[in-house]
């Protein structure tokens, strides 16, 4: 959902979601645009919420360790930083090997996302998807070759779908600038 809808969604929440209480929800709402660029960012967030700095630090640490926050940090605009080739690589893997291969793929630095998804037979036989960003198509193909070789996938059907153009990019804008919406991180949250 785009960020305005996300904000409405957070506001509409009356009770806890799962293990999150209302203070957690308010904290998530307060930082979804980004962390303040001030020496004590958590103190500034705390002031806005009527909490202490220590409470914000403790809650953020808990949200992170329970996995609601996957990571704090930066997301790069990959195209602007020279990663111009974006290949979605799809594999038709025997069901009993998907988890093992997914875990193997995720150990490679150049694999940026890795998911199991349903096949859509007969048209779409692939059940393991990974994203490989590279500086060129050849670089992405070379890395696929490396995966095939090192993971023993010579007999597994696969295809690479390079992106040709972006029809639309919007959604997550978090850092609070009024500039036009930047690209959403490819595959974020999907």
Partner 1 sequence: MAHEAPAGALDALDRRIINTLQDGFPVCERPYAQVAAQLGTDEQTLIGRLGRLLDERFLTRFGPMYQAERLGGAFSLVAMRVPAGDLERVAGIVNGFTEVAHNYEREHEFNMWFVLATETPQAIAEVLGRIEQASGYPCYNMPKLEEYYVRLRLPV
**Interface positions, 116-135, toward partner 1 (CB under 8 A):** 116-118, 120, 123-124, 129, 133
- Cα–Cα distance between 132 and 148 in angstroms, integer? 14
Task: Select the residue interacting with partner 1 from 11, 64, 136, 157 (CB under 8 A).
Answer: 64
> Least CB distance from residue 152 to partner 1, whole Å?
17
- Identify which range of 111-119, 138-146, 148-156 contacts partner 1 by CB under 8 A: 111-119
The residue within the footprint of partner 1, chosen from 7, 23, 26, 43 (CB under 8 A), is: 43
Residue 79 touches partner 1, criterion: CB under 8 A: yes
How far is 95 from 104, CA to CA, in rounded Å? 15
Structure token pair of residue 3: 């960020």
Please state the closest distance from residue 155 (CB atom) to partner 1, in A: 21
Long-range CB pairs of 104-109, under 8 A, 24+ apart, other chains included: 104/151, 105/130, 105/147, 105/151, 108/143, 108/146, 108/147
Q: Does 142 bind partner 1 (CB under 8 A)?
A: no
Q: Which of 55, 68, 125, 139 binds partner 1 (CB under 8 A)?
A: 68
Of 138-146, 147-155, 160-168, the segment contacting partner 1 by CB under 8 A is 160-168
* 50 lies in the binding site for partner 1 (CB under 8 A): no
Q: Which of 70, 145, 146, 149 binds partner 1 (CB under 8 A)?
A: 70
How many angstroms from the chain centroid is the CA of residue 7? 19
Helix (H/G/I), strand (E/B), else coil: 57: helix
User: Is residue 167 a contact residue for partner 1 (CB under 8 A)?
Assistant: yes
Q: Can you list the pairs that 18-22 forms with residues at least 24 positions away whose Cβ atoms lie under 8 Å?
A: 19/66, 20/63, 20/68
151 binds partner 1 (CB under 8 A): no
């Amino acid at each position: 959902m785009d960020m305005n809808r996300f904000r409405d969604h957070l506001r509409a929440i009356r009770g806890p979601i799962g293990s999150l209480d209302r203070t957690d929800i308010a904290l998530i709402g307060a930082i979804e645009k980004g962390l303040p660029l001030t020496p004590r960012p958590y103190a500034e967030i705390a002031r806005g919420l009527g909490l202490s700095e220590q409470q914000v630090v403790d809650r953020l640490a808990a949200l992170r360790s329970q996995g609601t926050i996957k990571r704090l940090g930066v997301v790069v605009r990959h195209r602007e930083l020279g990663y111009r080739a974006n290949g979605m690589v799809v594999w038709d893997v025997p069901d009993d090997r998907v988890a093992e291969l997914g875990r193997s793929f995720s150990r490679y630095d150049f694999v940026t996302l890795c998911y199991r998804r349903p096949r859509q037979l007969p048209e779409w036989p692939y059940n393991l998807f990974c994203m490989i960003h590279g500086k060129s198509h050849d670089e992405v193909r070379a890395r696929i070759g490396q995966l095939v070789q090192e993971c023993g996938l010579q007999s597994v059907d696969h295809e690479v779908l390079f992106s040709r153009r972006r029809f639309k990019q919007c959604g997550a804008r978090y850092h609070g600038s009024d500039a036009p919406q930047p690209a959403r991180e490819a595959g974020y949250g999907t």
